Structure 1
Amino acid sequence: MLRTPTSALTRAAIRTLSTSAVARQESAEAVGTVGNVVVKRPVGGFRILGFFFGFSFASALSIYYLQQENKIASGLLLASVEELQQGTGKVSSHLERLQTVEKELAALKNAGAVKDDVTKVRGEMKKVYDGLHLELLDLRAHVWGVEQDLQKVVKTGELGDF
């Protein structure tokens, strides 16, 4: 350690900085003072200019990085929005198809016959069929009677009650 001409203030500072008695004694016995050592520091303007240059470079680099991250995030968000839009379109088309099927089902329910209606119509048809069958039997009996009268006329050659 080089020792400079000491004043009372610097000696007190050295003593207070020493933590042990041995260190204090070594600092007191230091010899060979050469003089003041001058440390050259850069001029204040260059330090400030260097600071601003470094700050601006770091700021520009961080802004570029943030813009790239923002661009990627925006692209991902846009892709997810488009995917969501396609999914929403599919859901809405399915919903429309379900609504049309429900409308058709309601129309079929209204137009369809109920079991009671079918049995009622069946009974009416049986009555109509039985009535036609009776008329057919009456017609056959009448035709048979006409045939009998015709055969009688042909055999006897006389016209009866006609």
Structure 2
Amino acid sequence: MKWIQNKSQSIINILRFSKSPKCLFIYRNVRLYTDAKAPYVLKDTGQPPVGFLGFFIGTSFATAAGYYFLVNEYQHASNTLLLSIEELQRTTDSVIESVKQIEEMEKNIKRLQNNAVTKNDIQNVRTDTKKMFESLNLAHLEVNERLSELEIDVAKLSRYARTVM
């Protein structure tokens, strides 16, 4: 008879033998286990434990991968920060340039306000112009009057000179 070490097959064989007519005896109290303890086997202590070595290697790879991604994230954040700083610098320069232009325009406006003509100045110029035209008209009339007197005197002298000759 072939001895089978699998428990389920041994039970099947026992049942098969119990039904067969060739069986001379019946197994009623069959034990499929033993009370004997397995012998204690000492491990070789010359090698490190494989579980510890695997844990150490896995932790090392995880740490290296984490460090790699952390450095990449740090570089990305640094580049983004530098771009933001450059954009802020451009904006600040633009604002400073605008403030300078505004200050220059304010100086020009103050200078123009000091040089600007008011209504009173226009009225004064208008009255002065009217007085000047009146005085010019009077002077013109006086010159015309003197000219006409001179013409009369020249005419008298020319008649007197004709009579004398």
- By the TM > 0.5 criterion, same fold? yes
Structure 2 gaps, min length 5: 1-6, 8-29
Identity %: 30
Match of residue 124, structure 1, among 113, 124, 128: 128
Q: CA deviation at 1:96?
A: 1.0
1:32 aligns with 2:32: yes
Q: Please state whether the residue corresponding to 2:32 is helix, strand or coil.
A: coil
Q: Please state whether the residue corresponding to 2:49 is helix, strand or coil.
A: helix
Match of residue 89, structure 1, among 76, 86, 93: 93
Matched residue, 1:6: none
Query: Under a length normalisation based on structure 1, what TM-score does the superposition of the two structures give?
Result: 0.70
Paired with 2:86 and 2:124, the residues of 1 have a C-alpha distance of 59
Matched residue, 1:99: 103
Matched residue, 1:75: 79
User: Which protein, 1 or 2, shows the higher relative CO under an 8 Å CA cutoff with sep ≥ 6?
Assistant: 1
Paired with 1:38 and 1:117, the residues of 2 have a C-alpha distance of 127
Cα 1:31/1:85, change in 2 over 3 Å? farther
Cα 1:68/1:38, change in 2 over 3 Å? farther
How large is the Cα RMSD of the aligned pairs? 2.7
Query: Under a length normalisation based on structure 2, what TM-score does the superposition of the two structures give?
Result: 0.69
Structure label with greater radius of gyration: 2
- Number of aligned residues: 130
Matched residue, 2:54: 50
Paired with 1:126 and 1:39, the residues of 2 have a C-alpha distance of 137
The C-alpha deviation readout for 1:21-65, integer Å capped at 9, x for no partner, is: xxxxxxxxx941145568999976332222222112111110000
Match of residue 59, structure 1, among 58, 63, 68: 63
Matched residue, 1:155: 159
Paired with 1:122 and 1:155, the residues of 2 have a C-alpha distance of 49
The C-alpha deviation readout for 1:81-125, integer Å capped at 9, x for no partner, is: 111211121121112111111110111001111111111121012
Structure 1 gaps, min length 5: 3-29
